[in-house]
């Protein structure tokens, strides 16, 4: 693949956010460093070898350690990356993503198009190292390639793309981005423990009063959608596993929201138990 650019071509940078990415970072960098102009990594306070690997990758890589503060989300981190970058165009990625040769070639041509400000592209998502053709994974198609000055992110857990451009200036790329996702199922569950807290906050902000049926109906509805309506059955055992993960993950959202609204403080329970002891002294 030849992705070299003439002197008159726009420059291309990559922006990614990181937290303890020593396993994925070498592969991420190796797919990019030879054909993009800069790589900006906004780090959320890694404690492993992430910083060491990034700083050893050469002058194209800008590693910025800036842990999120209270009230900051992933969208804030991505916007810090935009503010740090200097390239004309930015490709926004996760560290566990890999650009396919076809998509790289397409990007190199697309950024030369003066009539476009951004491009959508699709992912081929992997779940437990298996490519997923259904379950809803196949629907990801967002603007993650755009002119630097036109793009921002918003939202909490799953960032919202905010492109300052009319629809006619947004193109569609045909190549796919490989999204490797988790190393194992334990990592997937660990991530869900983070997501459920944010989703519980979203339910609270929407004024949802969690009732008993929320523990049953929304999880079953999302499981049914993932497996049947979105074709998760096409992925065999992995499709079943993912559908059940969606069910339990959704249950956790509502369970967390209910607990935050209804669970009594631990101090109250301690006081109650102490009163029981005082009211029934031990007789020697």
Please give the Cα distance from 54 to 217 (Å, whole number): 45
User: Furthest-apart CA pair in the chain: how many Å?
Assistant: 93
Q: Is the pLDDT of residue 6 over 90?
A: no
With residue 80 as reference, give the H or E element that holds it.
Answer: helix 74-84
Q: What is the mean pLDDT of residues 246-251?
A: 96
With residue 177 as reference, give the H or E element that holds it.
Answer: strand 170-179
Tell me the per-residue pLDDT of 110-142, one tens digit each, with 9 for 90 and over: 999 999 999 999 999 999 999 999 999 999 999
User: In sequence order, what DSSP letters do the residues of 209-269 get, joined into one string?
Assistant: ---GGGGTHHHHHHHHIIIIIT-GGGGHHHHHHHHHHHHHHHHHHHHHHHHHHHPPPHHHH
Give the model's pLDDT for residue 3: 52
Percent of the chain scoring above 90 in pLDDT: 85
Contact 35, 120 (CB under 8 A): no
Least confident of 62-66, 101-105, 153-157: 153-157
Q: Is the pLDDT of residue 5 over 50?
A: no
Q: Which domains does the chain have, with CATH numbers?
A: 12-179 (3.90.550.10), 185-265 (no CATH)
Q: Is the pLDDT of residue 4 over 80?
A: no
Q: Is the dihedral of CA 230, 231, 233, 239 positive or negative?
A: negative
Give the model's pLDDT for residue 199: 92
Percent of the chain scoring above 70 in pLDDT: 95
Angle (CA) 29-30-36 rounded to 5° is 70
pTM, 2 dp: 0.87
Tell me the per-residue pLDDT of 21-47, one tens digit each, with 9 for 90 and over: 999 999 999 999 999 999 999 999 999
**Crossing angle of helices 217-224 and 236-262, rounded to 10°:** 160
């Amino acid at each position: 693949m030849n992705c070299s650019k003439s002197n008159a071509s726009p420059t291309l940078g990559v922006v990614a956010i990181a937290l303890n990415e020593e396993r994925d970072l070498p592969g991420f960098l190796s797919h990019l460093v030879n054909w993009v102009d800069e790589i900006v990594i906004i780090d959320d306070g890694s404690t492993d070898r992430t910083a060491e690997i990034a700083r050893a990758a050469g002058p194209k890589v800008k590693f910025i350690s800036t842990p999120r503060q209270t009230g900051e989300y992933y969208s804030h981190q991505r916007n810090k990356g935009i503010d740090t970058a200097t390239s004309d165009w930015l490709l926004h990625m996760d560290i566990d993503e890999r650009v396919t040769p076809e998509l790289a070639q397409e990007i190199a041509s697309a950024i030369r198009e003066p009539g476009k400000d951004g491009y959508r592209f699709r992912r081929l998502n992997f779940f437990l190292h298996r490519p997923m053709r259904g379950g809803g994974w196949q629907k990801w198609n967002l603007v993650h390639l755009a002119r630097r000055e036109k793009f921002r992110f918003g939202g909490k857990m799953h960032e919202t793309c905010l492109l300052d451009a009319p629809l006619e200036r947004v193109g569609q790329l045909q190549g796919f981005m490989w999204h490797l996702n988790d190393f194992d199922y334990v990592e997937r569950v660990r991530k869900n423990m983070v997501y459920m807290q944010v989703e519980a906050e979203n339910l609270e902000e929407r004024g949802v009063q969690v009732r008993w049926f929320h523990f049953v109906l929304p999880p079953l509805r999302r499981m049914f959608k993932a497996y049947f309506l979105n074709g998760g059955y096409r992925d065999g055992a992995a499709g079943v596993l993912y559908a059940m993960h969606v069910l339990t993950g959704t249950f956790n959202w509502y369970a967390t929201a209910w607990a935050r609204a209804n669970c009594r403080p631990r101090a109250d329970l301690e006081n109650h138990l102490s009163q029981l002891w005082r009211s029934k002294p031990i007789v020697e």
